[in-house]
């Protein structure tokens, strides 16, 4: 299936905050459809791409399916679904000390990059096979 695309006009109709819309106008092509990969290349961050895709998923079953598959790719989501992470463990994790949180910062950055790579792969023309997914191409 071809990669999902969107235009700035369609994003504007979704009602993003003014700052996000201004950033999108600056980074993205005005009258052309673009993919999640193209948005990432233009500097759009994962939070904004997920927000747009989530809004698209309300009316686009393909985007909804791809977004659900991406969500299932995330290891913690799989562990929670299998019952390997309990609510108590999640609460304990949230109570980490500042020192432990600082030590985990690099791990979180790597996980976020991994998630972003998987999101772009799931939204591409050639969707990847299910787990384990190959690494998505990264920008230098």
pTM of the shown model: 0.70
Encoding tokens for residue 11? 């994003």
Encoding tokens for residue 20? 């996000």
* Residues contacting residue 57 through CB under 8 Å, at least 6 positions apart: 63, 64, 67
- Looking at residue 70, its pLDDT comes to 87
- Looking at residue 97, its pLDDT comes to 56
Return d(Cα 98, Cα 105) in angstroms, integer: 11
Q: Tens-digit pLDDT profile for the chain (140 aa)? A: 899 999 999 999 999 999 999 999 999 888 799 999 999 999 999 999 999 999 999 999 999 999 988 887 776 666 766 777 666 566 656 655 555 666 677 777 888 888 899 899 889 988 777 655 556 666 65
- Looking at residue 106, its pLDDT comes to 74
Residue 6 bridge partners (DSSP)? 34
φ/ψ of residue 131, rounded to 5 = -40, 140
What is 4-66 written as a DSSP string? P-B-HHHHHHT---HHHHHHHHHHS-SSS-B-HHHHHHTT--HHHHHHHHHHHHTT-HHHHHH
Distances (CA, A) of 108 to 20, 47, 79, 95, 103: 24, 15, 17, 16, 10
Encoding tokens for residue 92? 């304990």
Domain ranges of the chain: 8-122
Query: Residue 122 in contact with residue 70, Cβ under 8 Å?
Result: yes
Element (DSSP H or E) covering residue 90: helix 87-94
- Looking at residue 119, its pLDDT comes to 92
């Amino acid at each position: 299936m071809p990669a999902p695309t969107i235009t700035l006009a369609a994003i504007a109709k979704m009602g993003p905050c003014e700052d996000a819309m201004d950033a999108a106008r600056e980074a993205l092509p005005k009258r052309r459809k673009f993919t999640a990969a193209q948005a990432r290349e233009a500097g759009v961050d994962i939070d904004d791409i997920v927000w747009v895709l989530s809004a698209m998923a309300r009316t686009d079953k393909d985007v909804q399916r791809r977004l659900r598959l991406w969500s299932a790719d995330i290891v913690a989501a799989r562990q929670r679904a299998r019952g390997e992470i309990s609510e108590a463990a999640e609460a304990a994790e949230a109570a980490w000390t500042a020192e432990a949180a600082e030590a985990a910062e690099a791990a979180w950055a790597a996980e976020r990059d991994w998630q972003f790579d998987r999101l772009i792969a799931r939204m591409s023309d050639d969707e990847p096979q299910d787990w384990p997914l190959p690494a998505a191409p990264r920008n230098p």
